[in-house]
Amino acid sequence: MPTLPWTVPNRPPQATEVHVFASRFETRTLGGALKFLARTPGVWRQVRGARGAYGASLKAEPFKRTFWTLSAWESPEALKTFAHSGTHAPTSRGLSAQMRDARFVTWSATSDEPPVSWAEVRRRLT
């Protein structure tokens, strides 16, 4: 699966502070990576309709069993609401046993900054 390009569900106001979230998931097995891929379209549809979502992208390296996410949100609360609702909530619970490692990082940025590069995401997650 190629990288899903930066998608902007809701255009943020200019020069507004946004909540940026990045994650890195590594599955235990290739089968776990395939399960992750199979569930991606449902979560991606949820992101595209999520209230407070200012942008999102996914970089998949299934043969390395590694997946990277990057998103920008109106607030930490908007991200939390997304994560605990819709397709994402049961998907994340259902995939937790497949995970070997998961890392998360958040930071503030202005609405003019996202998307950041994947190199920057990797730097922040190490």
Mean pLDDT of the chain: 93
pLDDT over 80 at 2, yes or no: no
Q: How far apart are CA 59 and CA 30, in angstroms?
A: 16
Q: What is the pLDDT of residues 52-78, one digit of tens each?
A: 999 999 999 999 999 999 999 999 999
Q: What is the CA radius of gyration of the chain?
A: 14
pLDDT at 1: 58
CATH of 4-125, one of 3.40.50.261, 3.30.70.100, 3.40.50.300, 3.90.1150.10: 3.30.70.100
Q: How far apart are CA 54 and CA 12, in angstroms?
A: 6
**Of 40, 78, 81, nearest to 61 (Cα)?**
40
The model's pTM: 0.92
Q: How far apart are CA 96 and CA 77, in angstroms?
A: 22
Phi then psi dihedrals of residue 90, to 5 deg = -70, -30
